[in-house]
Chain A
């Protein structure tokens, strides 16, 4: 059972363009939605995260848009750069209640930004 569905699997964007990656979730109890960036041979690193009480969060060129009613959220990378070429994972978890909350990951999107 895949609780977080991510698309597309791969994405090619020209330098300066907008990269958009989409995720949909099933568990309405999820209330923390991070995006992780992973370079080849490295561990993922947190890029940006959002909670469902806001519809959008922006950090530099990276923006998360969140649609609670549709149970969807997306990552937008503005002015995409070759250095953004990496694999991006969306994830979801329950708000930590004092025990270890588990992150459920999407299947990843391999982004390539061309010159």
Chain B
């Protein structure tokens, strides 16, 4: 089945740790996105990538980093510089000229 797979579903981070969220897609989509979801704030764009080895900052990129070494994969690292990382993280993808964005099932990150 084609789709977007995010892992893990739940992730706990200690203060000062970096953690990496995985996002893999087998839809052959060019563009991939990371969004952060907080209650009452909708979805806010962290980073996005149009093609392999290229990515751009979104609206709230501080404290996050990404890589796009393969078309299928767009991992997100939440660094210790992100002061309030507890949130629900969503990965999405779409065709380069398409309009519909397909979302993964999300990763809920909690700082302990």
Contacts and interface: CB of A to CB of B under 8 A. Distances in A.
A107 interface: yes
Contacts of B14: none
Given A41-B106, A108-B40, 18 more contacts: A41-B108, A42-B106, A43-B103, A44-B43, A45-B103, A89-B42, A93-B99, A96-B96, A96-B98, A99-B50, A100-B30, A100-B50, A102-B33, A102-B45, A103-B101, A105-B42, A105-B44, A107-B41
B49 interface: yes
Interface residues of B, number: 31
A110 to B, nearest CB: 10
Name the 6 nearest CB pairs between A and B, nearest first.
A43-B103, A100-B31, A107-B42, A100-B50, A105-B43, A105-B42
Interface of B is mostly: strand
Interface of B: 4, 6, 30-31, 33, 35, 40-45, 48-50, 58, 90, 92, 94, 96-106, 108
Nearest to B91: A43
A107 B90 CA distance: 15
Interface of A: 6, 9, 32, 34, 36, 41-46, 49, 89, 93, 95-96, 98-108
B73 to A, nearest CB: 16
Contact of B42 (A6, A46, A49): A6
